[in-house]
Chains A and B, each alone.
Chain A
């Protein structure tokens, strides 16, 4: 069965957790003991009123304060699809957790409180969804019950969004008026919105076309682990040496030519090994082990690529970043940079822009990037990265920065397209 991963975002109290609770409840995905626990907590803390948000707000501190602090994942299925849902927090302080939940989504639902309309946090989350290149967006205009189901209000909010959407890179956007609390247009069509002719949220989730998120163009296999059995007496395994990894782009075929980077050595794929036996071809994002025709030097952090669709290679990089730590980004300071399976040192050489969340325009060169800022930077790495632009390949175009010492994850980075591609003719030698 197909799998759709989606997340909810939007400002504090816009109703994200309530919406997921409603979705689970109305799609009959809740079990009796979960409903029972919900009712029990309603008697204790809710004055008898069931709080659907408690289904995902699983931490003590969250229920205490009635807010979401960290992402909660929920799983449900309808006869048409399986779903993985990430309920992310709306509070600005926890934006990094929103980024965590959104980074693996095929679709984002941005909630807006119909009374408040589009506010800074709605813009920030929409900007992050666009930055992460989440292919589908749903703008859920929620709490319509509190604005008398006004079509005019709905259109107003829609117009507000449509004003800044062109500045962002989002192709598919759907607007749905709803009440998460009462369930209007969540799973069942609402009698209050005769003026709305579109689908309910669930039927949209069930039918939205999810073109493959995975890049099938140029072969990329970041080597995770070298498979070297210690079986000196088994003649079949004595010389076995395989390179294991998850294909991050493209298709690999037994017998094809490949190049190992950064060494530039070319050879051919002798066998695509899997536990279930050798296969003739494998594709992104399958996990495989390649056996190469020649005994070449390959280790974790190297990338095996196909001869066409070459990646870039550089140690001067240009990227967009979401800064996720209270200690601001400091140009010149050394960080660990993890890209695919490769970790190197990196220093930020320049902050070129910051994105103004209200106008979504670029502001020139600030001195630093603070918590929750989105900006554009240049960095230099201690060894060249083999990479693609994030727009071309999410897996080979992304990185994280890790602070040295504390090992805190401080930034999520998205690389700009390479200026120069790997040049096979520069390769030292060809076997």
Chain B
């Protein structure tokens, strides 16, 4: 009997594949949000596992803030090509130009402006479902979200009246204009993701590994020196050996000093880590409920 037993990673994998196939079976026009980050890299492998030898039956969508790490976009484009998938990129830049997104006076961050850009893309392609790589262990508001997360016709999440989600029976029914966000990796932890990357021998963008980089000290963390917010003369700049743990925009992604050069090194580092991965994202620290507020407004 003991042969018929799944370990935790196999269990998470079959759960995620089941969800991917439910999406393919239930929705007319689903898309998969692919950023090139570690979570969405796992999503792509799970999509291959769910749908091969057929084509992956959903296009990849990425909202490009214009503040991405260049390494990330290069990786994103190449990986989509290798998989023979259709990649749709929609730029915050263009949404601003078309008047769909309006920066507040002095607003540099593109975090908030991703939302109208995403919603416009959903409307343009009439997507009824977007698969995302969010995990519940990332953040307190995400920890509350369903696998199938219903959004109203404004793209809003209402945390106080989520649909019950019982067993593995997902209610995928929508009225026109409404939308579903689906998170197959909900139950995965950062450690599970890296163990899966190791098991599946998945390639990840180089910035996850240790490299030399000029960093500027801001808000108690090291951020990459960049052209969008160049260092002021008063700010401390140093060249350090760093890597990213979670990828956001280049102006807000904290770098951790690390010698980790391989996936094994990273796994060992996380096992001993004393801060969470979101601990290195300035955008989530803004307030206790920063993520909840963004999700209510239509964020991933």
Q: How many chain B residues touch the partner (CB < 8 A)?
A: 60
- CB pair A300–B25 under 8 Å, yes or no, is yes
- CB pair A228–B276 under 8 Å, yes or no, is no
- CB pair A402–B159 under 8 Å, yes or no, is no
Residues of B within 8 A of A75 (CB): 136-137, 187, 189
Residues of A within 8 A of B50 (CB): 225, 244, 287
How many angstroms from the CA of A118 to the CA of B92 in the assembled complex?
Answer: 56
- CB pair B141–A58 under 8 Å, yes or no, is yes
Interface residues of A in 390-413 (CB under 8 A from B): 394-395, 398-400, 402, 407-409, 412
- CB pair A338–B162 under 8 Å, yes or no, is no
Interface residues of A in 215-238 (CB under 8 A from B): 216, 224-225, 227-231, 237
Q: Mark B94-133, 1 if CB is under 8 A from A, else 0.
A: 0000000000000000000000000000000000000000
- CB pair A229–B54 under 8 Å, yes or no, is yes
- CB pair B168–A395 under 8 Å, yes or no, is yes
| Interface flag for A61 (CB, 8 Å) | yes
| With A1-B8, A73-B186, A244-B21 as contacts: A400 and B169 at CB distance below 8 Å | yes
Q: Mark B243-273, 1 if CB is under 8 A from A, else 0.
A: 0000000000000000000000000000001
Residues of B within 8 A of A84 (CB): 187
What's the nearest-Cβ distance from chain A to residue B22, in Å? 6
Residues of A within 8 A of B48 (CB): 275
Q: Pick the contact of A338 from B171, B189, B274, B278 — CB < 8 Å?
A: B171
What's the nearest-Cβ distance from chain B to residue A358, in Å? 24
Instruction: Considering the complex, give the chain B residue whose CB is closest to the CB of A410.
Output: B164
- CB pair A32–B275 under 8 Å, yes or no, is yes
What's the nearest-Cβ distance from chain B to residue A39, in Å? 12
Q: Pick the contact of B54 from A41, A99, A228 — CB < 8 Å?
A: A228
What's the nearest-Cβ distance from chain A to residue B102, in Å? 25
How many angstroms from the CA of A227 to the CA of B146 in the assembled complex?
Answer: 27
| Interface flag for B17 (CB, 8 Å) | yes
Residues of A within 8 A of B187 (CB): 73, 75, 84
Instruction: Considering the complex, give the chain A residue whose CB is closest to the CB of B188.
Output: A75
| With A33-B279, A225-B21, A246-B18 as contacts: A3 and B167 at CB distance below 8 Å | no
| With A32-B275, A58-B140 as contacts: A224 and B21 at CB distance below 8 Å | yes
- CB pair A31–B4 under 8 Å, yes or no, is no
- CB pair B274–A275 under 8 Å, yes or no, is no
Residues of B within 8 A of A61 (CB): 159-160
- CB pair B8–A2 under 8 Å, yes or no, is yes
How many angstroms from the CA of A284 to the CA of B18 in the assembled complex?
Answer: 12
How many angstroms from the CA of A41 to the CA of B288 in the assembled complex?
Answer: 8
How many angstroms from the CA of A58 to the CA of B173 in the assembled complex?
Answer: 27
| With A224-B25, A338-B171, A407-B175 as contacts: A229 and B55 at CB distance below 8 Å | yes
Residues of A within 8 A of B53 (CB): 227, 229, 231, 237, 240, 242, 273
Q: Pick the contact of B162 from A32, A70, A99 — CB < 8 Å?
A: A70
Instruction: Considering the complex, give the chain A residue whose CB is closest to the CB of B277.
Output: A31
| Interface flag for B289 (CB, 8 Å) | yes
| Interface flag for A315 (CB, 8 Å) | no
Q: Mark B171-198, 1 if CB is under 8 A from A, else 0.
A: 1011100000000001101010000000
Instruction: Considering the complex, give the chain B residue whose CB is closest to the CB of A404.
Output: B173
Interface residues of B in 189-243 (CB under 8 A from A): 189, 191
Instruction: Considering the complex, give the chain B residue whose CB is closest to the CB of A98.
Output: B164
User: B interface, by DSSP: helix, strand, loop or mixed?
Assistant: loop
- CB pair B6–A285 under 8 Å, yes or no, is yes
What's the nearest-Cβ distance from chain B to residue A138, in Å? 21
How many angstroms from the CA of A422 to the CA of B128 in the assembled complex?
Answer: 37
- CB pair A224–B18 under 8 Å, yes or no, is yes
| Interface flag for B144 (CB, 8 Å) | yes
| Interface flag for A274 (CB, 8 Å) | yes
What's the nearest-Cβ distance from chain A to residue B279, in Å? 4
| With A216-B4, A246-B17, A251-B4 as contacts: A394 and B163 at CB distance below 8 Å | no
Residues of B within 8 A of A77 (CB): 191
| Interface flag for B286 (CB, 8 Å) | no
Instruction: Considering the complex, give the chain B residue whose CB is closest to the CB of A299.
Output: B25
| Interface flag for A11 (CB, 8 Å) | no
| With A33-B275, A73-B187, A287-B14 as contacts: A60 and B169 at CB distance below 8 Å | no
What's the nearest-Cβ distance from chain A to residue B60, in Å? 18
Residues of B within 8 A of A245 (CB): 21
Instruction: Considering the complex, give the chain A residue whose CB is closest to the CB of B150.
Output: A407
How many angstroms from the CA of A402 to the CA of B171 in the assembled complex?
Answer: 8
- CB pair B292–A60 under 8 Å, yes or no, is yes
| Interface flag for A97 (CB, 8 Å) | yes
What's the nearest-Cβ distance from chain B to residue A75, in Å? 5
Residues of B within 8 A of A82 (CB): 8
- CB pair A97–B11 under 8 Å, yes or no, is no
| With A225-B25, A230-B55, A400-B171 as contacts: A72 and B144 at CB distance below 8 Å | yes
| Interface flag for A59 (CB, 8 Å) | yes
Residues of B within 8 A of A56 (CB): 140, 143
- CB pair B17–A287 under 8 Å, yes or no, is yes
| Interface flag for A69 (CB, 8 Å) | yes
Instruction: Considering the complex, give the chain B residue whose CB is closest to the CB of A70.
Output: B144
- CB pair B14–A286 under 8 Å, yes or no, is yes
| Interface flag for B80 (CB, 8 Å) | no
Residues of A within 8 A of B15 (CB): 285
- CB pair B274–A31 under 8 Å, yes or no, is yes
Interface residues of A in 336-383 (CB under 8 A from B): 336, 338-339, 341
What's the nearest-Cβ distance from chain B to residue A34, in Å? 6
How many angstroms from the CA of A251 to the CA of B53 in the assembled complex?
Answer: 23
> Besides the contacts A61-B159, A228-B54, what 16 more A-B pairs have beta carbons closer than 8 Å?
A40-B288, A58-B292, A59-B140, A59-B141, A84-B187, A97-B162, A224-B25, A227-B53, A237-B53, A273-B53, A275-B48, A285-B18, A300-B25, A398-B166, A409-B171, A412-B166
Residues on B facing A (Cβ under 8 Å): 1, 4-8, 10-11, 13-15, 17-18, 21-22, 24-25, 48-55, 136-137, 139-141, 143-144, 146, 159-160, 162-169, 171, 173-175, 186-187, 189, 191, 273-276, 278-279, 288-289, 292
9 sample A-B contacts, Cβ–Cβ < 8 Å, listed by A number: A34-B276, A58-B144, A75-B137, A99-B166, A225-B25, A230-B54, A300-B25, A409-B165, A409-B166
